[in-house]
Structure 1
Amino acid sequence: MNKTNVEKLFFTDHGAIPNNPDLPLVLYRGILSGYIESCAEQFAINNWTNSWKNGVFDYHHYHSNTHEVLGIVGGTAVITFGGEQGEAVEVNKGDVVVIPAGVGHKKERGSADFKVVGAYPNGMDHDLKTGKPEERPKVIENIQNVPSPDKDPILGRNGPLIEIWSHVNRN
């Protein structure tokens, strides 16, 4: 795998979408170049499993009980991360996004061939939350209790995600 540009995005609680108070979203630009067809397998090698291949929902949502990785395996899209007041980010084939538990995401627009492979650390089953008031305070507790993964979904034990997220005091 090709080491590449790594970006970190931090989001605060916006009310409906809690985001994650401790962990940044991590974006790897172009890291999958040449490995598009083996994206799910690469995630699985690093214990990010329960994978799927599709797109990203066109409404704000998040997962309170697990982190999520998205490997962009086709096309381009603009995804807003962090809820209504979040940040619109263009992603392209070859990019990987690691979304911490609680961080909202919504596809704003995408090319006709936009496709992602998603997976979760330790094969977690994810919940689907949309920011309804009745979801709190349980989701806040869930987010705080999600363990950090043992491996970066692309680069394993020595990947940037492990270094970036290791500075957070988690259970």
Structure 2
Amino acid sequence: MSISDRQWAIAQALFDRFIDRGNARLGGSAFRKGERVQDLVHSYRQDFLDDAAAVMAIVDPRLVAFEARAKAAERALVGLTPDGSEFYRRNPDRLSESEFIVDVSACLTHIHDTRERTRQSLVEANRSRAEAVSELRSARFRHEQATRCAGCGERKHTPLRVDDMGGYVCLTCIDTRLHELLAKEEEAA
């Protein structure tokens, strides 16, 4: 079984941590700080390499899954934005296979702005709809309520009242009749 550079690096990190913990104890550690894992006796070295392999077995699948989720999120993010160079920037990692990477902040800003404009247009459409429904109801109410006045004979949309004889009388006729009655009372007084 070949040992990768990554496995050696993890084994060295575990070994350094082991030395730090040992030095924190009263007796100290049998190993010196800065000692290399490769220089250890085979049995000790193999223990640290086995531990490194166990760490890699746990971390690597999670890392692969995380990278897959990140790529899927990037594809979804690019799918939500229109094609355009403003959503890409040059990759600072010169060793990377891709020259350009998605500018996540520009994509998120674009998506946020688009959603805000959509929300505003929905609010405006709902407001216009509410006004139209209100106007329609008002027109229907005026049409349904329009009745011929028993006093003046005109077809009126104003609120009507029932008079003594059971006919509908408009407010104008009621007001006229009240003024006539008040004038008679004033003459009598």
Higher helix share: 2
- TM > 0.5: no
Higher relative contact order (CA 8 A, sep 6+): 1
TM-score w.r.t. length of structure 2: 0.16
TM-score w.r.t. length of structure 1: 0.17
Higher strand share: 1
